């Protein structure tokens, strides 16, 4: 039985939004996604370029570390041709993400 709606788990409408949440090692329900804030400082501008990335959440610390390294490498490769001064990639909570 689904604990949220008292319906059997095999029902297609058993848990609305089941794909948005998952349990990680006994913690309460968490979002199934991680959010990263990418901030690029250019030499000719004072205001940095900021954008957010949404990726599937990893369940282990080692996986999260690898994912962060991958996000840094992808951002660095994408912006390398623009000769940026500083690139910062940080993991942020979902509440901090600005909707598009």
pLDDT tens-digit profile of 17-32?
444 555 555 555 567 8
How does pLDDT run across 58-87, given as a tens digit for each residue? 989 999 999 999 999 999 999 999 989 999
| Cα 96 to Cα 89: distance, rounded to the nearest angstrom | 14
Residues 40 and 88 placed together within one structural domain of the fold: yes
In terms of residue numbers, what domain contains 68? 32-96
Burial of 97 per CB tally in 10 Å (0-12, 13-18, 19+): middle
Q: Convert the pLDDT of each residue in 7-16 to its tens digit.
A: 444 444 444 4
Q: Both tokens of residue 47?
A: 């205001």
Indicate whether 26 and 50 sit together in one domain. no
Please check the confidence at residue 91 and state whether its pLDDT lies above 90.
yes
Mean pLDDT, to the nearest integer, of 27-48? 85
Weakest mean pLDDT among 8-12, 53-57, 59-63, 94-98: 8-12
21 and 63 co-located in one domain? no
Based on the fold, state whether residues 18 and 52 are members of the same structural domain: no
- Which positions ≥6 away from 55 have C-beta within 8 Å? 33, 34, 36, 67, 71
Do residue 74 and residue 37 come from a single domain? Answer: yes
Q: Are residues 26 and 41 in the same domain?
A: no
Q: How much is the pLDDT for 99? A: 75
Mean pLDDT, range 86-96, rounded to an integer: 92
- Alpha-carbon distance of 5 to 62, in angstroms, equals 35
d(CA 48, CA 3): 45
């Amino acid at each position: 039985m689904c604990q949220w709606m008292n319906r059997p788990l095999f029902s297609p409408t058993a848990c609305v939004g089941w794909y948005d949440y998952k349990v990680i090692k006994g913690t309460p329900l968490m979002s199934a996604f991680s959010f990263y804030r990418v901030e690029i400082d250019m030499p000719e501008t004072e205001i940095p370029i900021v954008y957010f990335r949404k990726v599937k959440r990893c369940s282990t610390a080692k996986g999260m570390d690898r994912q962060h390294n991958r996000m840094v490498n992808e951002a660095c490769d994408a912006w390398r041709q623009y000769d940026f001064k500083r690139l910062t990639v940080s993991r942020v909570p979902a509440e901090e993400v600005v909707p598009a």
